[in-house]
Structure 1
Amino acid sequence: MDIVFIGFGEAAYHLCAGLRTTGDLQIGAFDANVSPALQQRADQQHVTLFDSLENACRDARFVVCLTSASSALGIARKVLPLLVAGQTYVDMNSAAPTVKQAIDQLPRPAGVGFCDSAVMGTVPGNNHRVPMLLAGSGAAAFAEAFTPRGMQLTVLEAEAGAASAIKMLKSVVMKGLPQLLLEAFQAGEKFGVLDTLVASLGDSLNGKTVEQLANTFTARTLIHAKRRSAEMDDAVTTLEAAGVDATMTRATQGQLDKLAATDWASLLGPDGSDMDFRTAIAHLTAHV
């Protein structure tokens, strides 16, 4: 087998559907819960379903786990002892980097690689071309085998856990930012100023890149934390007056209060407001 999936759910099915278009490929799968619908999907993509982990892993060049974050470590404990030199275990679950690091630290036979894979988009619609970040000892081998088949794989020169760290930290922003917008937009609707609020935000952001925004906000947030915390007090009052849950804004105020306990203006120096975000973050991590 060229590749075997542990777990044959939606993501694995769509990856197989894409890979099937790239030429001859031996694909297998093992799933603990084989239903008639799952069997039909496997048949559609000419995927061999195995009746045990042992049989599934025996001759697979790459064994890919696509089950869940909660089961990832437990499955790795079962699979890794079954592998032999030349095989690579790939964990594609959306899990914390600590989980991927724990998998990498499990005992495994010499010559068995491990690849931490972070799927950075939706698989349905993209199929095998969904962007992925790879890290760990088995990353290069996986990329070498499947990049020629159209998979969008970026190998990080880093240990296992790095790929998943990027995915999780991106989620902090991409999942957190909409919550802030929802909080502000609800109040904007209540006050009858939603469209003007959106336009004003657009003027402030003004097409800036993430790096430009980081350079604008990072050092200034540290230096002016006390004043901004006071402003958040009024922001909370505004939200609550509109009957909006101010959880995110209260959390922002709490973080600003913590930052205000340090004299950042002195630490960052007279030109601190113009400090690039990387230097400012280095100062922050050194003092927190």
Structure 2
Amino acid sequence: MKIGIIGAGEVGLTYARPWSVAGHDIVLCDLKPSPRAQAFAAELGLSVSTVITEVVPACDVVVSCVFGTVSLAVAEQALRSMNRSTLFVDMTTADPSQIRIAAAHAAELGVAYVDVAILGAIALTHEKTNLLGAGVGIERVISLFTSVGAPLKVVDGGVAGDAAALKILRSVFTKGMEALTIECFMAAEKQGVTDKLHDALSDIDEASLRDFLGALIRTHVVHAPRRLKEVEEAERQLRAADMPVSVLPGVKALFQRTTDQIVANPPDASAPSLKEAFEWLFKANGISR
């Protein structure tokens, strides 16, 4: 199989190696190939091009690994020169709406278009990094990646753009948790109670993540006023200990907002379901679903 990789950076080179070793014919394409990319190509005996339209017509698969800011322009340029039987794999960091525009263009041309989101640190885990995929032609993509040990999970019923959207939401959760963890555990380490804090948090392991997060959402719309007091006290104690406080003010603002909304419009149920909690939150924040 001939695979054209547009963008010879970290992502492109990461997958070029195992695919080449597996026997695929790899062509790298980059407007300005870096010395690293040129050395990589020389090592594996790969050809390097600087013109997309010279590469994609002869390819069975085209994989875009460019920056998100140029993703749509690159996709549209490539799609104009691709054969109908060619598969386009978008591994960029583009806005999901841009991916959906490109996928719609591909559909008009009869080209299969799959969005593949990278869910981990590819510089650390290389081709073993978890992937999430969605779009027309996903079966071919699964075969392409899993054949070299790259773990790819499919967004059930998803379309191109869904994987990128989920990656962004995942980042909201994981980066927020990372920031709060730093703030919390720096304070714990200063007080010499890091191990004890791990023990105090161990009950969270007793429930599934889905159940734990669901419980937070359901109870938040009822108990935010009481929890606001806990957040205020936590912030006071961290400041008294002369610790940096960046995350808690944002947490406090959210709890204050929910508290004000509860006073103005209390939830109908004292123990709302997850659906009822979401309905109240959207309505209280003036957001249409």
Same fold (TM over 0.5): yes
How do residues 56-75 of structure 1 correspond to structure 2 at under 5 angstroms?
56-75=55-74
Return the offset for 1:118: 0.5
User: What is the distance in 1 between the residues matched to 2:25 and 2:165?
Assistant: 31
- Aligned-residue identity in percent: 24
Corresponding residue of 1:118: 117
Q: Which moved more, 1:72-81 or 1:168-177?
A: 72-81
Tell me, yes or no, if the aligned pair for 2:7 and 2:29 is still in contact at 8 Å: yes
How do residues 1-288 of structure 1 correspond to structure 2 at under 5 angstroms?
2-22=2-22, 24-106=23-105, 110-124=109-123, 126-156=125-155, 157-202=157-202, 204-263=203-262, 267-272=267-272, 275=273, 277=274, 280-288=277-285
Return the offset for 1:286: 5.0
Q: Which moved more, 1:222-231 or 1:74-83?
A: 74-83
Return the offset for 1:199: 2.6
Deviation per CA, 1:233-280: give whole Å up to 9, x if none. 2222112112223221111111112222334995351433xx3x4553
Which residue identity lines up with residue 217 of structure 2 in the other structure? T
Q: Residue 18 of structure 1 aligns to a residue in which SS?
A: helix
Q: Residue 32 of structure 1 aligns to a residue in which SS?
A: coil
User: What is the distance in 2 between the residues matched to 1:90 and 1:199?
Assistant: 44
Q: Which moved more, 1:95-104 or 1:7-16?
A: 95-104
| 1:125–1:247 Cα change, 3 Å | closer
Which residue identity lines up with residue 11 of structure 1 in the other structure? V
Once superposed, what is the RMSD of the aligned Cα atoms? Answer: 2.6
Structure 1, unaligned runs of 5 or more: none
Return the offset for 1:215: 3.3
Tell me, yes or no, if the aligned pair for 2:222 and 2:267 is still in contact at 8 Å: no
| 1:211–1:77 Cα change, 3 Å | same
Tell me, yes or no, if the aligned pair for 1:131 and 1:153 is still in contact at 8 Å: yes
Tell me, yes or no, if the aligned pair for 1:118 and 1:164 is still in contact at 8 Å: yes
User: What is the distance in 2 between the residues matched to 1:231 and 1:126?
Assistant: 39
Tell me, yes or no, if the aligned pair for 2:5 and 2:16 is still in contact at 8 Å: no
Return the offset for 1:50: 1.8
Which residue identity lines up with residue 281 of structure 1 in the other structure? F
Deviation per CA, 1:137-196: give whole Å up to 9, x if none. 233332344444544233322121111122111111211112112112222334443333
Structure 2, unaligned runs of 5 or more: none
Q: Residue 267 of structure 2 aligns to a residue in which SS?
A: helix
Which residue identity lines up with residue 63 of structure 2 in the other structure? V
Which residue identity lines up with residue 225 of structure 1 in the other structure? A
| 1:266–1:242 Cα change, 3 Å | same
Return the offset for 1:80: 2.3
Deviation per CA, 1:197-217: give whole Å up to 9, x if none. 333223x42443211312332
Return the offset for 1:31: 1.1
User: What is the distance in 1 between the residues matched to 2:35 and 2:109?
Assistant: 38
User: What is the distance in 2 between the residues matched to 1:110 and 1:233?
Assistant: 57
| 1:196–1:150 Cα change, 3 Å | closer
Return the offset for 1:114: 1.6
Which residue identity lines up with residue 121 of structure 2 in the other structure? T
Question: Aligned pair count?
Answer: 283
User: What is the distance in 1 between the residues matched to 2:187 and 2:153?
Assistant: 41
Q: Residue 217 of structure 1 aligns to a residue in which SS?
A: helix
Which residue identity lines up with residue 195 of structure 1 in the other structure? D
Tell me, yes or no, if the aligned pair for 1:239 and 1:246 is still in contact at 8 Å: yes
Tell me, yes or no, if the aligned pair for 1:18 and 1:127 is still in contact at 8 Å: no
Q: Scaled by the length of structure 1, what TM-score is found?
A: 0.86
